[in-house]
Each structure stands twice: as C-alpha cells, then as structure tokens.
Structure 1
Amino acid sequence: MNRKRTVFKGMSLLALILSFGCKEVVVNKNPKEDVEKLIEIKDSVKILKAKKEEVPKSNLKSLDGLADTLFVRLADYSDDFVYDLRYATENNFLKAKVYDCAECYTRVKTARALLLANKEFMDKGFKIKFFDCYRPNDVQYKMWAIVPNPQYVANPVKGSIHNKGGAVDITLTTLDGEELDMGTDFDFFGKRAYHDNWDLPKNILDNRLLLKETMEKHGFWSIRTEWWHYNLGAASNDKVANFKWDCD
C-alpha cells in the first residue's frame, strides 16, 4: 500500500514538472522592484480616477416640455451668449439705471428661437450679445417717466413686445467676444442706425445683413430705425407682463 502511494506521488510530481516544460519560469530576484511597480500602477489608477471625477457636469437646463409662454433666464439654458445689459447701468440713452440687476429673461418660445439662431451664428464664428431682453411693464413706466416720447420709448399703457418677452436688442461678437462694427452704438437714434441706410462702409452693411438675415430665418423681424432690435413674430399677440426676477 505504501509503495503504491509513493508511485502515485512520484507520477503527480512528474506531471507537474512536465506541465511547465514548455513555459519559461521567471523568478524575480529583486522583490522590491515588484512592490515599486505595484505602487506605480496603483498611483496611476488613482490619477485616472481623479481626472474622470474632475470633468464638470453641465448644469444647464432643458427647454423640453416647458410651456411657450413661461419666462426663463437664458443663462440657465446656454453658456454661449454674451451680455451687456445697458438698462441695469447708466450707460444708456436714459442716463439712468432702471433695472435692479442685470438679467436676460424671455418667453420659452423666444428662447428656443434665440438658441437656434445663436447656433447658426456660432457655426459662422459669431455669438449673440444682448443689450436688453424681456422688460417688466413697471420698468417701461420708469422709462416713460424719464423720456415720455413714443419715438424712443413705447407708451407703457399699451406696452411693447419687450414687455411681452418677445423682443431683444442685440448685436454680434466674434467667438472671442469682440463686437462687430454695426456703424453705431446701441440706442443711437438717427439715420445712421436705419436698416435702409446704404450710405455706410461695406463691412458695416455686411455685418447688419448677417444679423438681419439670420434672425429673420429663425422667426424674428426687425424695425426700420434700429439695427439692434428684433421681435419674435410668434410673440406679437402675447400679453404685456410684469413678471420680475429676483436679484441676489
């Protein structure tokens, strides 16, 4: 019995040796190198994991499912606009600050059209820059008290499309933020700001045409005397609003 067990053990050992016969067995003579390599691999995994966690998640909201007449803050839905909201400063024709803080709100349907227009502008190397957006009717009354002239300020009793959340005052910038030359500053009230004034340098006319044609393509219409003003046609019949945003 003992002899049989010895033979069996011998055969098992032989099989084990034969199983490694075709393989190169490497014996690391320096275990410290193995430990260092393991530490290096572990650190690499940590770095990769940290980089993955550092990727910021977009906090932008979606307009999907929102009612067309709801007021929304454009900055919550895109990082690709530029802002210089003049009526929140004294740098305007009124020479007065009439907004408590600078925010750009519109109705949802206006926001949708602006996002599409801006995408087309960006494909061509430009961005929309806002001077004014939705304007609460109370602010319209403030403006009227300063300049009670319907040639420059809409009568607040009737209101303007700005008060409906369907009008914006805009220009274009390069993707780096440099304003295109439109011939005049915002709120310049004179013939040089008219759309039908062709007595201007070609680059100015080209810039205005780019702005006008693209905005009209996305449902907006312009007014003859102000190259910066655009109304969304679909907002014309909306009600004058007095929605006010919070200022932090």
Structure 2
Amino acid sequence: MKKTLFLFITCLLISCKSSYLDSKKSAVLLDITREVDSNAFVNIKNYSKDFVFDMKYATADNFLKEKVYPCDECFLRVKTVKALLEANKSFITKGFRIKLYDCYRPKSIQKKMWKIVPDANFVANPKKGSIHNRGGAVDISLVDSVGVEVDMGTKFDFFGEEASHKYQNLSPEILANRKFLKETMLLYNFKSFDSEWWHYNLNGSNKDELSNQKWHCQD
C-alpha cells in the first residue's frame, strides 16, 4: 500500500511515461508515414535496412575511451526519422548510404559523459542538454556502394579545427565530400553544426523537450 501511494505521488510530481523505450525489433519493416505522433521515439532499424550502424558510444572506440551506451540502438523522434529516411534515399540514388555514429542520447548518459569529460568544448553540459537529448540530432558519415567510408578528412569526434565546415586546408576530394553530405542534409530539413562535419540537427528540434528515456538491450 505504501509503495502504491509512493508511486501515485511520484506520478503527480513528474511524468509517468515509461522511462524505457521498446527495443523489440519488428519482424517486417514498418511504414514511418503511418506513425501519427511526430514526437514519439522509435527505433530507426524498424523502418529501413539501408543504413550502416557504427554506434561509437556503445563501444570504447570514442573520445571518452569508455562504453556509455548499453547497446547499439538508434532511437530518434518520428519526425527526425522521416527526414533522415528521405535524405538516405537521395544518397542511395547517387551510390551512397548514411552511416550512423550516434542518435538519441538519454539525459542520464549525457550526465555520465559529462562526468568523464566535464568540458563544454567536448561534451554538452547536461544542465542545458544537447539536441541528442531531444531526439533531433544525428552524427553521420557516408559509405559508398561497397561499404567503404567516404573520406571526410578526420575521424568522428575529432575536436580539432580540421573538423569544422569552415576549415578549407583540405584536399579538393575531402571538401567535395563534406559539401555533398552537407548540401544533401540541408535539402531534407537538417541544419549543420559548424565545428563538426558529422553533426546534423533537425530544424526546430532545439524546441523539443529533453528526454531521459533509456532502453533495454535485446538478445
């Protein structure tokens, strides 16, 4: 009885939505256009098999040198997935596919990252949060028709000036690759992040609420 009363009072004080997202994979691909709640979180793997996944924070192969995600799921808001699917279709017609490094990031993970590297030059302060915490940001690159990653000049999460869109002391090929990625993403309602060639935010996603919904890993 006391536990039930405690849960009831808690629900009055904070949102009672489930703190966990459904990681279960659909047996068949789902149609994103049938999703009516544009702000709901969904697993992009249920809507397309045309992306390449290299979720860095589900491994220790990242600038933190530590695994902070339980597994390599990619959740985003429905409206973000819709735009990303259209962008990927465009890339596919030209012989490329989007490679995903990071998607939605629960606020609890943001706090964990901040604890490891408490420097706003590298990690968004969880008090303010990031667009990743809002389900509107993706970190991406491109692969070609045989799965070879396109040369963008630096690795993902390289924090030197060379990672900036404004940096021009790169080969014509690399500059063309970055331009191709950026111009296509801008066509599909995304905005680039000047200092990181890999980071794109869905337009208007900065107005969405910060979220702390986590996910269970599926065997």
Q: Which TM-score applies when normalising by structure 2?
A: 0.86
**Percent of paired sites with the same residue:** 54
Is residue 65 of structure 2 the alignment partner of residue 105 of structure 1? Answer: no
Is residue 128 of structure 2 the alignment partner of residue 158 of structure 1? Answer: yes
Q: How does 1:163-174 map to 2 (within 5 A)?
A: 163-174=133-144
1:80-112 CA-partner distances (Å, limit 9, x unpaired) = 000000000000000000001111110000000
Is residue 88 of structure 2 the alignment partner of residue 122 of structure 1? Answer: no
Q: Distance in 2 between matches of 1:193 and 1:137?
A: 25
Displacement of 1:178 in angstroms is: 0.6
Is residue 145 of structure 2 the alignment partner of residue 175 of structure 1? Answer: yes
Query: Number of residues paired by the alignment?
Result: 191
Is residue 181 of structure 2 the alignment partner of residue 211 of structure 1? Answer: yes
8 A contact 2:110–2:126 mirrored in 1: yes
Q: Distance in 2 between matches of 1:187 and 1:65?
A: 32
* Counterpart amino acid of residue 106 in structure 2: P
Asked which structure has the greater CA Rg, the reply is 1
* Counterpart amino acid of residue 236 in structure 1: N
**Structure 1 gap ranges (5+):** 1-57
* Counterpart amino acid of residue 96 in structure 2: F
**Alpha carbon RMSD of aligned pairs, Å?**
0.9
Which secondary structure state, in structure 2, belongs to the residue aligned with residue 236 of structure 1?
A: helix
- Give 1:241's match in structure 2, choosing from 195, 208, 211: 211
Q: What is residue 81 of structure 1 aligned with on the other side?
A: 51
Q: Distance in 2 between matches of 1:223 and 1:124?
A: 24
Displacement of 1:152 in angstroms is: 0.7
Q: What is residue 34 of structure 1 aligned with on the other side?
A: none
1:191-239 CA-partner distances (Å, limit 9, x unpaired) = 1111011110011000000000000111111111100000001312000
Q: Distance in 1 between matches of 2:36 and 2:196?
A: 31
**Structure 2 gap ranges (5+):** 1-26
Q: Which has the higher helix share?
A: 1
Is residue 118 of structure 2 the alignment partner of residue 148 of structure 1? Answer: yes
Is residue 102 of structure 2 the alignment partner of residue 132 of structure 1? Answer: yes
* Counterpart amino acid of residue 52 in structure 2: V
* Counterpart amino acid of residue 146 in structure 2: D
Is residue 71 of structure 2 the alignment partner of residue 71 of structure 1? Answer: no
Q: Distance in 2 between matches of 1:113 and 1:96?
A: 31
Q: What is residue 167 of structure 2 aligned with on the other side?
A: 197
